[in-house]
Structure 1
């Protein structure tokens, strides 16, 4: 069973130099949280299925998060969004570090924030306006090789993660893959060259 300690995750993220991305005009900053959980059946992270009525990325797999407010850091915005989406309130010192910014085709620059939750026993309170369902993916489920395929609309390969008889696509797939590489295996892997499927371009 794959596992990582808080000290290991902190050390690996401290050694990793996350790449920031510019914010072109008309693009918005956002943050997502990879919340590392302990449990009797091993460790994992929360992932959501977005409400199908949302304007951005409806019905897609997503990490808890959203756009940051003016003056907010990625860490502040990510923790606020985690609370607003799932009812989970973490202190600032739960944050261990960042991964690379990922620019999306839909006009966002996403900053992934890794946070340590440990054992979470309180009930989740998903926001029905944003979250259709919440899932806890084990680290073993995330420790998979990505799939790549070509599309005529781009010269970059589309990345997919095969998880639970489903496929998770970028941007979430790119972020989860880098989390696997950096935090779980201490491999400094970049994901900016991974494309999203065309349906996620809106």
Structure 2
């Protein structure tokens, strides 16, 4: 069976992580996720992430590094996550989301993340914390 990849961006800006609240489909509405979407045939995961963040949030972003691991969403579909930085634009919930929040490392547990996003959020949160300690050194 072919596995289709869904990419998500742990978008980091000024020491904060971007969370997006789902508005659809109904079974996911109200839960929070890292924004992204399906990789199209012939598209690289990084290109898909740039396209999805443009479509969903109206921003230009640059994928930085892949967070190790992948998480099953449903049969034949896996989630892979990259850290990303904003290049231009201010994120807005344009597609499939009704709210966005910037979360400092100590705030990432304040939203109801989708279960498959939690491991990557944990890694991104640790990276945020490490980045702040390095910046302060």
TM > 0.5 fold call: yes
Deviation at 1:84, TM superposition (A): 0.4
Deviation at 1:117, TM superposition (A): 2.5
Provide the residue aligned with 2:91 in structure 1: 124
Question: Which residue is equivalent to 1:137?
Answer: 103
Q: Cα distance 1:28–1:175, how it changes in 2: closer, same or farther (>3 A)?
A: same
In the alignment, does 2:23 pair up with 1:57? no
Contact 1:32–1:112 under 8 Å retained in 2:
yes
**What is the CA deviation profile of residues 68-90 of structure 1, one whole-angstrom value per residue up to 9, with x for unaligned ones?**
11111211111111110000012
Q: Cα–Cα, structure 1 residues 48 and 169, in superposed 2: closer, same or farther, change >3 Å? A: same
| Superposition map of 1:21-100 within 5 A | 25=1, 27-38=3-14, 43-51=15-23, 53-54=24-25, 57-90=28-61, 94-99=62-67, 100=69
TM-superposed CA distance for 1:27, in Å, is 4.1
Q: Which has the higher strand share?
A: 2
Specify the structure having the higher radius of gyration (Cα). 1
Shift of 1:55: 6.2
Residues 13-67 of structure 1: CA deviation (Å, up to 9, x unaligned)? xxxxxxxxxxxx26421100011102xxxx212111111x426733321111011
Q: In the TM superposition, what is the alpha-carbon distance from 1:107 to its structure 2 partner?
A: 4.6
By how many angstroms is 1:137 displaced?
Answer: 1.0
Unaligned runs of 5+ in 1: 1-24, 143-161, 187-202
Deviation at 1:106, TM superposition (A): 6.1
RMSD across aligned C-alpha pairs, in angstroms? 2.5
Number of residue pairs matched? Answer: 130
State the SS of the aligned residue for 1:101.
strand
Q: Which consecutive residues of structure 2, in runs of 5 or more, have no partner in the other structure? A: 132-137
**Contact map agreement 1:74 1:113 (CA 8 A) in 2:** no
- Cα distance between partner residues in 2 of 1:169 and 1:104: 10
User: Residue 112 of structure 2: SS of its match in structure 1?
Assistant: strand
- After TM superposition, give the deviation of residue 123 of structure 1 in Å: 3.7
